[in-house]
Structure 1
Amino acid sequence: MGIFEFIRRLFGGSSDTLPASAQEPAPFLEQAIEERRHKPRINAREGTRVLVIDDSKTIVTVLRKFLRSAGYEVYEALDAEAGLLLMHEHKPELVFLDIVLPGMNGFAALRAIRRDPELRETPVIMMSGNEQAMEQFFGTRIGADDFMKKPFSRHEAFFRIERLLDDNFIPRRAHPLAQAGAEISAAAVATTAAV
């Protein structure tokens, strides 16, 4: 049994249990990215601190070029341990985190981020060259805010950032559980009022 089959069984068996973000059909995503290409880009405010954690110098260089062209301040780490140290030192407002890293992998790094009171509210976009929905699902279960498949385009990178911006153009965590809880509470209130 492979790791993905183990994880699939561990979390309930079928892809029907995947959260919507992990089930996003590729055509929808491609359409959204294509639509975004024809709209003015909405960037995070200038000077936003972004940390890129990836062992591929090519990916780090590409993201650095994209992000700096938009006025972001970019920090780089080639492994998770160095990335966690940089997070404590520079307090990035957004992290791009690869899954497959030397030493500590991206999932373990994400768990460490979510358990650390100083870092837990930092939005994290996981990256992988693997198309497996289970990676997205597992990342979502332990606190990833989005998932970006490699290779990616400039448009996709900024599309992912734009989805996390608040009204002040600051990247914020996506809290699907909090939103779901609010919807359940509203439905409970409506049901009680109807009785």
Structure 2
Amino acid sequence: MKHLVVYAHPEPESFNRAILETTITVLKQNGHEVNVRDLYSLNFQPVLKPEDTAAMRAGHTPQDIKTEQEFITQADAITFIYPIWWTGLPAILKGYVDRVYSYGFAYSVGESGIIKMLTGKKGFIINTHGTPQEIYNEIGMTDGLKITSDIGIFDFVGIEPVGHLLFGSIGFLDDESYYKGLLKEVENKVDSLFPQ
């Protein structure tokens, strides 16, 4: 399978980076082709501007958007790896979705409603957040995050959500075994979702 991993974390030594590296390692060990789009390294411009939408309406998609859309088109599976900030996506990733998952590419509208244009692909998400996981579970935030990203982004455009890992207390626990355990969970989940 061809995998697209979209990564959004600004710190090179972050736990998200370790998650990214673990994900890539397992996918490659299982014989998959992997393309990583590190949005911060790419200095991706996240603001959807009026000239972007005007150009796309005229059939002239800006090159930076077109490049990302080509990676999506070629992918069989798309993985998002990012931290939860203010109960949502980092601005750079939200802007990536705003600009790249555009009308006419990712979805359209017909007589019967929304036309999902990215069907046949699988979607997987891995998130970290500082709040303890049990608190997010208790207040409904975990379910809310899954709905807004799995359904609100992936399913909306036809990508089948196949898994979503959320890890809490990141950066607030100084227990190395805790982080090793989470990486093992990532390894096992990626291996089970995308075997050889």
Same fold by TM-score greater than 0.5: no
> In proportion to residue count, which structure has more strand?
2
Bin for the TM-score computed over the shorter chain = 0.3 to 0.5
TM-score with structure 1 setting the length: 0.44
> In proportion to residue count, which structure has more helix?
1
TM-score with structure 2 setting the length: 0.43
